[in-house]
Amino acid sequence: MTRIAIIDPQFDGTPDIELDEAGADTEFTILRPGYDPVSPADLDGADAVVNCRSRHYIPADLVAGMTTVKVVVQAGVGFNHIDLDACAARGIPVCNTPDYGTMEVADHAIGLMLALSRGIPTYAERLWTRDDAWGTHALPLPPVRRLSIRTFGVIGMGRIGTAAALRAKAFGMTVAFYDPFLPAGTELSFGFTRAATLEDLLAQADIVSVHCPLTPQTAQIIDDDAIAAMKPGAVLINTSRGGTVDLDAIERGLRSGKLNAAALDVLPREPLDRSHPLIAAWGAREGWLDGRLIITPHAAFYSPEGLADMRRLSTRAVMGYLTEGRLRSCVNLRELERHGHRFDA
């Protein structure tokens, strides 16, 4: 009997998709700790752990108590909340599921861009609350711009960044990107412009869309210096990780007008910290933010189809390793090798 613990799954009821993928000789333990941390006792006897939300950390002290766990799978893309080295020290591979939600997140990023660029939420809200809001003459207009004369700048041209860029190109936009990890010539395949540095990208992009993972190198990649390097009136979109941006810097950029608008699906602290000055001003509907800030609740990944893919792929990653020793998208291979464990990825 294979035992798999699922931490905070994004479904109610029985793990039917997981059972269909894993087979009947599998026992699933469903943990729903809310915002409380998971304890080693919760994982006692588990052969594998599937972690479903980035708010649940798997730190070294938890890993130390995972005496039976053979593999950890993050049901999602980001893994900065898992102690990769602690897992590697115990010979535990950590895998993620990067091939779910690509279309959903790309669509969400473009949807946020369209909402800001066309003033859609501003027009709708004014009509809900004011009788004199019909037409475009009576009230101050939202920051509407024509897309086909603008440049869509992508930070991180992985699966999602590429999908978002292709969507922007379909709107007639010029597309530029910065990604130091892609081989030379990638830009020629898509007809995009490649920026040699982040500063070069920011200087030419009207819309900056962040699609990089959160690493020590990308933490607060959008800070005061980055915003200062942007074109006046730039728009910032973030559907990657909240920690890739400095929320204080975004507030300063919006207040100064250097940033025309921002749309954030992820925040440095989740759920949102309503005591932060920017979040407080947004919640109070202060006039200086009218039509200039959209916040969505870390929902870019979601569709029923995408969620089903995530559940299926994460279970497949577990079973592939437990039954065949096959690793799928292992993110701590380097750490495993450093601790003397070798795997074929």
- Name the residues annotated as catalytic: 241, 270, 298
208-247 CB burial, b ≥16 within 10 A, e <16: bbbbbbbeeebebbbbeebbebbbeebbbbbbbbbbbbbb
- Cα separation, 54 vs 52, in Å, equals 7
- Cα separation, 73 vs 30, in Å, equals 15
Residue 96 exposure: Cα atoms within 13 Å on the Cβ side:
18
- Cα separation, 202 vs 200, in Å, equals 6
- Cα separation, 298 vs 116, in Å, equals 18
Q: What letter does residue 240 receive in the DSSP assignment?
A: S
Residue 120, classed as helix, strand or coil, is: helix
Tokens representing residue 297 in the block: 């609740």
Q: Read out DSSP for 125-178?
A: HHHHH-TT-SSSSSSPPP----GGGSEEEEE--SHHHHHHHHHHHHTT-EEEEE
Q: What letter does residue 343 receive in the DSSP assignment?
A: -
